[in-house]
Amino acid sequence: MEKGEKKCPKPRWPEGARRGGFLIERLTELSEIRTTVYLIRHEETGARILDLHCDDRENVFAIAFLTPPSKSNGLPHILEHSVLAGSVNYPVKDAFNELLRSTLQTFLNAFTYPDRTVYPVASQVHADFYNLARVYLDLVFRPLLRRETFAQEGYHFELAAPDNPQSPLLVSGVVYNEMKGAYSSPDNLMYKAIQEHLFPDTVYRFDSGGEPEEIVKLTYDEFVAFHRTYYTPANACFFFYGNIPPEDHLEFLSGVLASLDKRPAFYTIPRQRRWRKPRVVKRPFPILGGEDPSKKGVVNVAWLLTENNDVFETLILHIVSGILVGTAAGPLRKALIDSRLGEDLSPVTGFEAEMRETFFVAGLRGTDSQKARDIEALILRALNEIVARGIDRDLVEAVLHQVEFAGKEIVRGAYPYGLKLMGQAFQTWPYGGDPVQAINFPVLIEEVIRRWEKRPRLFEEAIEKWLLANNHRLLCIMEPSFSYLEEREKKMATYLAKVRKNMKESDLARIREEMNRLRVYQMTPDSPAAVGKMPRLKRSDLERKIETIPTEIDEEKALTVLKHDLFTNGIAYLDLAFDISSVPEEDVPYLPLLGKLMGGMGAAGLNYEEMVKRVALNLGGISIHPTCGLLFANKAEVWQRMVVRARFLYRKAEEAMATLGDLITSCDFTDEKRVEDLLMEQKNRLASSIVPSGHLVAKMMAASSFSLPAWREEQWEGRTQLIVVSRALESFRENPHAWVEKMMELKDKVMRRAGLVVNLTADEEGLHLLKEKLPTILDRLHDAQIGTLEGPFLPERRHRGVAVPAEVSYVAGAIPAPGYGEKAVAAMMVASKYLSNGYLYRTIRVQGGAYGGSCVYDPASGVFTFLSYRDPHIVRTLEAYREAARLLFGGTLEEEEVEKAVIASIGAMDRPLDPAGKGFVALTRFLAGITDDYRQALREAILDMSPANLSQEVREVFAGVEEKMVIAVLGSEERLNAANEELSEKMLLEPLFT
């Protein structure tokens, strides 16, 4: 959102007006979010349209269909993938990928929910926005749904050796492999178990994503029929957000809708019948051999709550969840943790409103599943006590402040801001809910506060009604199993053997023929005529000038202060970047833990619970993390900082600064029980993120020997950090006092005034306020110097394989690459897009059946990495990496493909940032020494990149890739061993923990 007047855009038509086949059903001005809202109906088809007209130039369009599944065969999900593979007017094989590559989209995706499918696009450029919307609408309403697409995206059978009549049957397919990955993830299995068993009589008992065993039973005819049934205008909700005026949207839509299906829609999601008695369910999930099953179970208690159409009650329950478990001071969370019945809270703990009826879950992980009944009793006892004792008023105020803050903050993380509002509207609108009420958050929260003031036991009453007196309660026990994955594989193998046995020679011939047809289809490029129909930008359409972030630098009294004058909606952002370049090498791995402790312990005479409440009441959030990067044009030198990032409302500035000052100068680690809880929480969080982000974990391992920033990333965020945290927990348990003492010493080595850089982001009023209050913190910092020490030492360069419980692999291959300011940075940026969207996507995803295959180039750490995600192959993928590198300078690069890569590179550079993001990016540029002049030159070099230059400039980086590339693979032990047999240079195989 740009700086601008605080008013809503002027309404274009009165309520009740009819314009070109559209009826303006409702018009509302939401002044709190400066948005004029139109609810419109297309009279002929019955299509519903919501437009949020505001002054954000990142426009969003989305269409949602209600797609209730009737089996767990993944139909909605496979369809979501398949409609993006070409339509009547855009008959290219992979329209989604074409759009990704040749437009300035700032967001382009599709999501399958348990009951609906959503297709959103976003762009900051008017013509580009409508190009995207036009193609997306054609894709969803007129997809080609080829048999080959169904086989590639869904599943298909293959013969292990096509020429051998005895050969066993195999399954491949993108969604099939994606879901195999999902069915290896404990968190995912846990969530599924709750959803399926809490709603045993509704569509939610099925998995819309698809269960691998069910996916393989789906037929092509069912697939086509599902599309015909549900993808109609009357069953769709159209969403627009941004500064493009509504009349443009209607003009655009009337052209599209005129030729579409006019069947009425009558689908809805039935409500779940309520239980008279609570229920219990037990489900298995995979763990590794060697782990202790009595410490691995997860126990959850879940309640079915109100319909999410009741936005008011839903908000109250959201707040109740925030009170009970949302902060470390939450009384239910505390009761669970303090009971020592498990290691930490279950990751699904909290409130869920994405389905038609909402639910709340609380539980423990790292427990013995035999203790399930004890945990359930504990939760009920704690809730009874909370209601009897009454909820602490400070805690309610802190949670309300958090909710208010979240509603006010302009956030543009990975998603456009408009997408947040889209999500809120789609939560209730497809079931007939009021989307306008759902997005008018500031008004809702004010109403809750008013009611609470009149009725001080509002939240206690909600706990009584919805939790204690509610018999629709599920005790869900997740039991660890060593043989889970093996059994699943066996079950599938048995099924395939049965199918195979019943096949006649003619069936086998058909499979062979289909395999061939698919291969030919995948290898044949789209015709130039088909490609020519896709709308696309040319490089001459791209802006040549960089966008700059306002930065004013003050150097005073050996202190550097950066100021960024930006509209932040009344929120101040303060970053303190402490110099950690002289922290002893042996202490460096502990910096993330130090940040975790500082943010989670007591301080200045307050215990952690009081401190948590104080933080929640006065700040929007705090994070404390180490970070590192190469210095500009100097690969031998780096910057290393521990960055404290805080955000708060202007009106809270005084208390927020005092709180922050206490946290960083007077923190208190003496509560050893709390330290242990935080260590366990961190260990579990890291351990459970390994498989879901396996590609990133593999990438960090592969890259770690190439530069200090890459090594630091591995030490601070990768598998090395997991090992560090597990060992820290052990040594803490051996001698808590000594361990805590060491962390306090480390804190003193980090939180020093010497070399500090302060980074402030707010508008003029906020900057003034921040500057004025800054001494509250700075005056309390000590100025001691610490000497420089030996090191750092990069790890040994070698291939590694790490065994994880997963049915698919994650394969990374890294090579050293130039850092900012060195030769060939622009060419490497273009090359990474060229390969990611072209060869790697085709070879690893389309032909290989992996969920993802790409590469990333990071000039801040000087590394280029190939990676794959949920990949059925290892050796074949590594071969593709080598081939990709050779391709860049071996053959001739096509002008058109290079142009697409240039557009994608510029698109990535121009990704919009929220105010906090802009401030932080400007800080890292300052620390690395990257100037706007350099950025301008880099942009021009990208814009002017020719195929010949590209090939020429990257030659040195990719030459000899066979020798240079370091590989790291996460996968099952069997697959790693099998891969090692084929590899000439073997991987060192290691368990996840050493």
Active site residues: 80, 153
Q: Compute φ and ψ for 753, nearest 5 degrees.
A: -75, -30
Q: Compute φ and ψ for 471, nearest 5 degrees.
A: -85, -5
336 by Cβ neighbours in 10 Å (0-12 / 13-18 / 19+) ranks as buried
Q: Classify 603 as helix, strand or coil.
A: strand
Which lies closer to Zn ion via its Cβ, residue 138 or residue 178?
178
Which lies closer to Zn ion via its Cβ, residue 178 or residue 899?
178
Which lies closer to Zn ion via its Cβ, residue 50 or residue 174?
174
Please report how close the Cβ of residue 73 comes to Zn ion at its closest, in angstroms.
Answer: 14
Question: How big is the site for Zn ion, counted in residues (CB under 5 A)?
Answer: 1
d(CA 129, CA 717): 36
State both tokens at 357: 């009826």
State both tokens at 922: 């400007």
Please report how close the Cβ of residue 847 comes to Zn ion at its closest, in angstroms.
Answer: 17
Q: Tell me the helix, strand and coil percentages in the chain, rounded to 5.
A: 50, 20, 30
Residue with the closest Cβ to Zn ion? 178
How many beta carbons lie within 10 A of that of residue 133, not counting itself?
A: 24
How many beta carbons lie within 10 A of that of residue 289, not counting itself?
A: 10
CB 667 within 8 A of CB 780: no
Could you tell me which residues come within 8 angstroms of residue 244 by beta carbon, excluding any fewer than 6 positions away? 59, 126, 129
Site for Zn ion in 942-961 (CB under 5 A): none
d(CA 851, CA 841): 10
Strand-pair category, 800-803 with 988-991: parallel
Please report how close the Cβ of residue 447 comes to Zn ion at its closest, in angstroms.
Answer: 38
Site for Zn ion in 163-192 (CB under 5 A): 178
Could you tell me which residues come within 8 angstroms of residue 364 by beta carbon, excluding any fewer than 6 positions away? 298, 299, 336, 339, 341, 342, 343, 344, 345, 346, 375
Please report how close the Cβ of residue 263 comes to Zn ion at its closest, in angstroms.
Answer: 28
Which lies closer to Zn ion via its Cβ, residue 174 or residue 335?
174
d(CA 206, CA 214): 11
Which lies closer to Zn ion via its Cβ, residue 178 or residue 479?
178
CB 207 within 8 A of CB 189: no
Q: Compute φ and ψ for 671, nearest 5 degrees.
A: -75, 90
Please report how close the Cβ of residue 178 comes to Zn ion at its closest, in angstroms.
Answer: 5
Please report how close the Cβ of residue 856 comes to Zn ion at its closest, in angstroms.
Answer: 21
Please report how close the Cβ of residue 145 comes to Zn ion at its closest, in angstroms.
Answer: 16
Q: Classify 869 as helix, strand or coil.
A: strand
Specify the DSSP element, H or E, that contains 365.
Answer: strand 357-367
User: CA of 617: how far to CAs of 181, 235, 327, in Å?
Assistant: 40, 43, 11
Which lies closer to Zn ion via its Cβ, residue 177 or residue 682?
177
**336, HSE (Cβ side, Cα atoms, 13 Å):** 34
d(CA 197, CA 475): 10
Query: Residues 861, 862, 864, CA angle at the centre, nearest 5°?
Result: 110
CB 173 within 8 A of CB 156: yes
Which lies closer to Zn ion via its Cβ, residue 84 or residue 237?
84
Site for Zn ion in 390-449 (CB under 5 A): none
User: CA of 365: how far to CAs of 163, 336, 342, 476, 980, in Å?
Assistant: 49, 10, 6, 12, 35
Which lies closer to Zn ion via its Cβ, residue 178 or residue 871?
178
Please report how close the Cβ of residue 122 comes to Zn ion at its closest, in angstroms.
Answer: 20
Alpha helices (H) in 66-215, listed in sequence order? 75-83, 95-102, 126-141, 147-149, 174-182, 186-198, 212-215
Which lies closer to Zn ion via its Cβ, residue 80 or residue 681?
80
| End-to-end Cα, the chain, rounded Å | 48
Please report how close the Cβ of residue 179 comes to Zn ion at its closest, in angstroms.
Answer: 8
Please report how close the Cβ of residue 142 comes to Zn ion at its closest, in angstroms.
Answer: 21
Which lies closer to Zn ion via its Cβ, residue 208 or residue 836?
208
Which lies closer to Zn ion via its Cβ, residue 84 or residue 624?
84
Q: Which one-letter amino acid corresponds to residue 274?
A: R
CB 595 within 8 A of CB 576: no
Please report how close the Cβ of residue 93 comes to Zn ion at its closest, in angstroms.
Answer: 17
Please report how close the Cβ of residue 153 comes to Zn ion at its closest, in angstroms.
Answer: 9
Which lies closer to Zn ion via its Cβ, residue 178 or residue 343?
178
Q: Which residues bind Zn ion (CB under 5 A)?
A: 178
